[in-house]
Amino acid sequence: MNIKITECPRDAMQGLHDFVPTEVKAAYINLLLQVGFDTIDFGSFVSAKAIPQLQDTAEVLKKLDLSSTSSKLLAIIANYRGAEDAVKHEEIAFLGYPFSVSETFQLRNTNTTILQAFDNVKRINELCVTSNKQLLVYLSMGFGNPYGDEWNTDIIEQWTDKLVNENINYIALADTIGIASAEQISSIYPNLCRKFPKTEFGIHLHSTPSTWEPKIEAAYKSGCKRFDVALKGYGGCPMASDNLTGNIATENLIRYLQTQNEPQELNLGKFQDAMDYSGKVFG
């Protein structure tokens, strides 16, 4: 099935209160680069005021050793200016843009309406094409929202259709606040995969430690190809109502894929090294 794992140290670190030194970030990501993940979501080009923890993304990038890794680098951007900064770096393969199907969250997250954000998507994708990058669009609040904004599967399919028509080849549904159910996932992904067979669909879940497995299983069995995870489940969305809600733990996904006899060419020794080092990052 060729499942692709995206390790997300950026998501894991961005909410930390204490600034993690650039050298420590780079050392951690360098260990992750040696594991063999498909993609590393390593940083973001957003304002330092918005996310102070990631203000050193360009400096971290300079310290990464890409000489012996097959992993691709992904950077998050929130507007066209951030995309312009990101595409200057040849090492970056993917730009990730959070496009919310919730008007309220789009305004809170990127200070734009949904229609303005869609215009940004089109402009950013044009920039990616001319810069030899791929744009991955996250459909954030992809499983519902806490604001009372309308949500249903038709809305997801309508926006997916619009994105695909703009030649967006990579789309990931993001469970921003950790409310997705296995039943939801099982009802959404098969239809998307059938209607848009040339699009690579991923999932970015936030979950409690006790509820991750049914969601992962539902996504896997529904044809999802890309899974975003973070070592030990670090990070997640601060808006989630349960403080145990974080990213899906990488080690849990690896273990699940092993039970499905899904081949993963990962260096588990280097993975353990990263696990051991993570304490220096996350305390």
Q: Which helix (H) or strand (E) holds 26?
A: helix 22-33
Q: Which helix (H) or strand (E) holds 41?
A: strand 39-45
Taking the C-alpha atoms of residue 215 and residue 57, their distance in angstroms, rounded to an integer, is 31
The radius of gyration of the chain from alpha carbons, rounded to an integer in Å, stands at: 17
Average pLDDT of the chain?
A: 94
Q: What is the pLDDT of residue 241?
A: 55
Asked if residue 101 has pLDDT above 90, the reply is yes
If you average pLDDT over residues 11-38, what whole number do you get?
Answer: 96
> Which of these, 143, 206, 197, lies nearest to 12 by C-alpha position?
206
pLDDT tens for residues 221-279?
999 999 999 999 999 765 555 566 789 999 999 999 999 999 889 999 999 999 999 99
Q: What is the pLDDT of residue 140?
A: 95
Residues 220/184, Cβ–Cβ less than 8 Å: no
Any idea what the CATH number is for the domain that residue 172 is in?
A: 3.20.20.70
Share of the chain above pLDDT 70, in %: 97
pLDDT tens for residues 46-95?
999 989 999 999 999 999 999 999 999 999 999 999 999 999 999 999 99
The model's confidence at residue 283, banded by pLDDT at 50, 70 and 90, is: confident
> Which of these, 222, 281, 269, 219, lies nearest to 5 by C-alpha position?
219
Asked if residue 1 has pLDDT above 90, the reply is no
Query: Could you give the maximum distance between any two Cα atoms of the chain, in Å?
Result: 48
Number of domains present in the structure of the chain: 1
Taking the C-alpha atoms of residue 2 and residue 262, their distance in angstroms, rounded to an integer, is 8
Q: What is the pLDDT of residue 237?
A: 66
Q: How far is CA 50 from the centre of its chain?
A: 18
Residue range of the domain that includes 140:
4-282
pLDDT tens for residues 189-226?
999 999 999 999 999 999 988 899 999 999 999 999 99
Q: What is the pLDDT of residue 99?
A: 97
Q: What is the pLDDT of residue 176?
A: 84
